């Protein structure tokens, strides 16, 4: 019989990692870099993303995945979309934030069917406060104008 290790001895091997932001980054870019780094590990461990808004966080995640797996960008896109589905970000029912976020991601990666689905939900959820969504607030003005022109 093997004796158990004393409770005060840590038998798990833990490592700390620090991925610094590029030296020319300002304070905002440094924060975005660290959030994107955290979200890359969230993707690896299949836990939810964090950030100011979901759409830009998903796009930054895809950029990180493309950086560390540059050989197959189609697979990276599919993996990020699969991750978004596993986190229920593609479930737009009664959630204008998810619809706007995925619409932004779909536009960035040129995924037409995903964009159409998200757009249809934006139209259906327009009365639910589309303009008051944080996802709407962080979009470029031109993006929001295109949405509103087609919704009104």
DSSP 106-122: HHHHT-HHHHHHHHHHH
Cα 86 to Cα 47: distance, rounded to the nearest angstrom: 9
Please tell me what DSSP assigns to residue 2. P
Mean per-residue pLDDT, 141-152: 55
Burial class (CB in 10 A: 0-12, 13-18, 19+), 150: exposed
Mean per-residue pLDDT, 52-62: 94
The H or E element that residue 102 is part of is: helix 96-109
pLDDT at 152 over 80: no
């Amino acid at each position: 019989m093997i004796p158990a290790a004393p409770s005060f001895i840590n038998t798990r091997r833990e490592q700390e990692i620090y991925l610094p932001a590029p030296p020319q980054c300002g304070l905002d870019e440094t924060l975005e870099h660290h959030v994107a780094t955290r979200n890359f590990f969230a993707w690896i461990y299949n836990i939810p993303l964090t950030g100011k808004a979901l759409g830009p966080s998903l796009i930054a995640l895809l950029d990180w995945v493309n950086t560390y797996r540059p050989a197959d960008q189609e697979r990276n896109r599919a993996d990020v979309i699969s991750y978004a589905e596993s986190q229920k970000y593609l479930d737009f029912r009664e959630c204008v934030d998810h619809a706007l976020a995925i619409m932004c991601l779909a536009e960035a990666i040129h995924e037409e069917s995903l964009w159409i689905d998200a757009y249809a939900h934006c139209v259906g959820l327009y009365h639910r406060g589309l303009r008051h969504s944080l996802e709407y607030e962080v979009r470029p003005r031109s993006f929001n104008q295109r949405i509103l022109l087609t919704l009104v």
